[in-house]
Amino acid sequence: MTPAQAIGALDRQLAKHGQTVTLRKGNTTVGQAVVKAFVRGVTADDLTADITQTAKKVTLSPTGLDAFGLPGANTIVKHADGQGGIIGMPEIIRLNDIVVRINMVIKG
């Protein structure tokens, strides 16, 4: 699978089944990005001192993030059920050195 194929497959699934989220760098609306993402609850295996049952797993595509850039630890993710800051650093998945998926855990 090429990086373009992986991104295309994720983008198609997000378009069909994802929900709209807003990414913000800190507490500002300047330069925010509105993209589709999968937002899911965490499982019992995910729970740690920093990750509680109210945390959410968020998966998004790099598509639409050119101006925003990759989300970092100061990113706030606003979704249909509320909003939360990223716990730790996002997991950046690459194929052949190209970002194809971003996984992160957010508070509440």
In order of their start, the domains of the chain are 3-106 (2.40.10)
Q: Please give the share of the chain, as a percent, with pLDDT higher than 70.
A: 88
Q: What one-character-per-residue DSSP string does 7-20 give?
A: HHHHHHHHHHH-EE
CB 57 within 8 A of CB 46: yes
CB 14 within 8 A of CB 60: yes
Model confidence pTM above 0.75: yes
Rounded Cα distance, 35 and 52, in Å:
25
Instruction: Tell whether the model's pLDDT for residue 5 goes beyond 70.
Output: yes
Which one has a higher pLDDT value, 107 or 17? 17
Cα angle 8, 14, 19; round to 5: 155
